[in-house]
């Protein structure tokens, strides 16, 4: 079982992830071509202006109005992206398979970032359950996606601490990580790809057409 999840399953997950993202990207471009206003509205100046404002903490009014959500959201996304890329065990796996190597983070930093992701997921869960305005727009799929994002980190942390049987925990961890990669292109998690493009269009429409700010 370990040989399968650490080998074929990982590469299947990466293939589905990359292929799915390419498919979604091409589909998005084709749909945009059919709409007569999207490409004509696009402006590099206002696209970049919007992107810069929305990737800088507290640059937008909405972020300043919900400071605690902004802080947790930025920490969550930074750790979610950087940790899998620069974790020593993951880099070692790529080095063994392809001979590719890059810098890694310290074990202490990895532990803190893992805990940050876990606590952020708990925060998002409690927010969806406790706040009526958020609960109203929450569906079962939102809880499922939150669980999918949560599972690789909590199982990885448990495996690192060897709280349970190590081989069983690491197998579950790799299955959860592979599942997350597979579902990203076909769920709302794909906003990791679409965010720059949707933000660029909104910035262009507000700036070049409406002569207003979108933040």
* Cβ atoms of residues 206 and 46 within 8 Å: yes
CA–CA distance, 94 with 69 (Å, rounded to integer): 34
CA dihedral 130, 132, 137, 143 (to 10 degrees): 10
Instruction: Output the pLDDT for position 73.
Output: 94
Q: What tokens does 88 get?
A: 């020593």
Instruction: Output the pLDDT for position 194.
Output: 86
List of residues 6+ apart from 191 with CB closer than 8 A: 198
CA–CA distance, 212 with 215 (Å, rounded to integer): 9
- Nearest CA to 50 out of 34, 62, 66 is that of 62
Instruction: Output the pLDDT for position 173.
Output: 94
* Cβ atoms of residues 208 and 49 within 8 Å: no
Instruction: Output the pLDDT for position 127.
Output: 94
- Residue ranges, the chain, pLDDT below 70: none
Instruction: Output the pLDDT for position 198.
Output: 87
Q: What tokens does 22 get?
A: 């390419």
Q: pTM of the prediction?
A: 0.86
The gap from C-alpha 208 to its chain's centroid, in whole angstroms, comes to 30
Instruction: Output the pLDDT for position 43.
Output: 87
CA–CA distance, 55 with 73 (Å, rounded to integer): 11
Instruction: Output the pLDDT for position 28.
Output: 87
Which tens digit of pLDDT belongs to each residue from 152-192? 999 999 998 888 888 999 999 999 999 999 999 999 899 88
Instruction: Output the pLDDT for position 215.
Output: 74
Instruction: Output the pLDDT for position 178.
Output: 95
CA atoms within 13 A on the CB side of 73: 14
Q: What tokens does 101 get?
A: 């190597």
* Cβ atoms of residues 137 and 126 within 8 Å: no
Instruction: Output the pLDDT for position 38.
Output: 82
- Chosen CATH of 2-208 out of 1.20.950, 3.40.50, 1.10.10, 1.10.1760: 1.20.950
């Amino acid at each position: 079982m370990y040989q399968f999840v650490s080998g074929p399953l990982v590469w299947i997950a990466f293939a589905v992830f990359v292929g799915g993202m390419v498919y979604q990207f091409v589909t998005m471009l084709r749909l945009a071509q059919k709409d007569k206003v999207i490409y004509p509205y696009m402006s590099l100046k206002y696209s970049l202006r919007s992107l810069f404002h929305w990737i800088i903490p507290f640059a937008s009014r909405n972020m300043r109005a919900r400071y605690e959500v902004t802080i947790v959201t930025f920490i969550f996304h930074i750790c979610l992206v950087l940790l899998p890329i620069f974790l020593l065990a993951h880099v070692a796996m790529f080095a063994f398979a392809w001979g590719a190597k890059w810098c890694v983070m310290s074990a202490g930093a990895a532990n803190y970032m893992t805990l940050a992701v876990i606590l952020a997921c708990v925060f998002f869960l409690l927010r969806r359950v406790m706040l009526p305005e958020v609960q109203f727009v929450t569906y079962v799929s939102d809880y499922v996606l939150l669980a999918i994002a949560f599972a690789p980190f909590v199982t990885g942390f448990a495996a690192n601490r060897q709280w349970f049987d190590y081989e069983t925990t690491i197998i579950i961890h790799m299955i959860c990580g592979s599942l997350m990669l597979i579902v990203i292109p076909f769920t709302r998690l794909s906003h990791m790809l679409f965010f720059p493009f949707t933000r660029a269009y909104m910035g262009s429409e507000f700036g070049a057409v409406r002569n207003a700010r979108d933040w």
